[in-house]
Amino acid sequence: MQDNVKVQYLFGMHPVMEALRSGRKIEKVLLKKGLESPQFRMLLQQLQEKRIPYQFVPAEKLDRTVRGVHQGVVAFIPAIDYVSIEELVNNALALKDNPLFVILDGVSDVRNLGAIARTLECAGGSGIIVPAKGGAAVNAEAVKASAGALMRIDTCKVPNLKLAAYYLKQSGFRIIAATEKSAERIYDADMTGPCAIVMGSEGKGISQSMLSLADSKVSIPMEGEISSLNVSAATSVVVFEAVRQRLSSKGNK
């Protein structure tokens, strides 16, 4: 392996198998000695078919390699391959007429990033846009939290979210900012066409520069005493409202 390739770790049975199925490059895999299960046999067969080197090691070595529940499986992978904003849009529009993106503005927790990616992939979304600085790292923990979804959808890292939003608008996308400060509900915004949903950090919310570019600012109605949701849960609510609208729109045609 070349020294200039940054190696990261992907761990857990399902994330590693998902990476193999999606064609993700894997350098080698460490397996816990004595590991036995039908899922493990499937994993081993995939490794052998793809001729990916693997090694059986004591559990202690795996514990020292990664922090987290590795389930006896640790894969060595290069850092995730990002796409440019142009590639993101072109790839998405080539596959469907109404792509759905999520833009993360200041979301720094890797588990939230992973959970959001999982939600977006389940909803048929096309990609995630994250800032080069000030956002969560797309690392092994994020991939594990996404249950492999980050291997299946495009991820775009940009130096300036505002410029990325401008490009999306010029490409025919609506920018939907989810903010609790808006009086407009998510059910009133049109999310049937190409759009990008902006989600902010739980502490600071969406930056003013991104809010100023939004075509719609929407909020999730709250009835309980706790007035806010975790950002990954909030993203799920907004994303699946977009799915509901799109399904309803198809049904009316």
Cα distances from 170 to residues 48, 91, 138, 242, in angstroms, run 47, 16, 27, 21
Q: What is the CATH number of the domain that holds 51?
A: 3.30.1330.30
Same domain, 164 and 209: yes
Q: How many domains, in total, are found in the chain?
A: 2
CA-closest candidate to residue 32, choices 52, 8, 12 = 12
pTM attached to this predicted model: 0.74
Higher pLDDT, 84 or 228: 84
Same domain, 147 and 235: yes
- What confidence tens digit (pLDDT) does each residue in 181-193 have? 888 999 999 999 9
3-state secondary structure of 208: helix
**Residue at 1 is within a domain:** no
Q: What is the CATH number of the domain that holds 196?
A: 3.40.1280.10
Q: Give the CA count within 13 Å in the CB-facing half-sphere of 160.
A: 5
Which neighbouring-strand residues pair with 154? 127
- Domain hosting residue 39, numbered range: 7-78
Same domain, 200 and 238: yes
| Cβ–Cβ under 8 Å, residues 191 and 246 | yes
- What confidence tens digit (pLDDT) does each residue in 39-63 have? 999 999 999 998 888 999 999 999 8
How far apart, in whole angstroms, are the C-alpha atoms of residue 104 and residue 114?
Answer: 12
pLDDT bracket for residue 118 (50, 70, 90)? very high
How far apart, in whole angstroms, are the C-alpha atoms of residue 62 and residue 129?
Answer: 32
Same domain, 68 and 157: no
Same domain, 13 and 89: no
